Amino acid sequence: ILGKISFEVKKLVENYVTLIDEIIRVKPSAAKGRYLRSIHFSSSMGPSVAVDTSKVKNLLVKEIE
């Protein structure tokens, strides 16, 4: 869970960046190549939306600043 709809955009972005950083940090050393192949967001009961993992993090870091 990244947050609620009541959260500010900045807080949601911070939560997303923190989540991705932690996933990459705990990546096993034996894992080679592209570790995150896909990310999808969805509400509790809604359809998911694919996220382009190669572009999103850099854009989001700029959004926080």
Residue-level pLDDT at 57? 61
Q: How confident is the model at residue 55 (pLDDT cuts 50, 70, 90)?
A: confident
> What pTM was computed for the model?
0.68
Q: What amino acid occupies position 22?
A: E
Helix (H) / strand (E) element for 45: namely: none
Residue-level pLDDT at 19? 86
Give the span between the Cα atoms of 53 and 36, in whole angstroms: 7
Give the span between the Cα atoms of 22 and 16, in whole angstroms: 10
Helix (H) / strand (E) element for 51: namely: strand 49-51
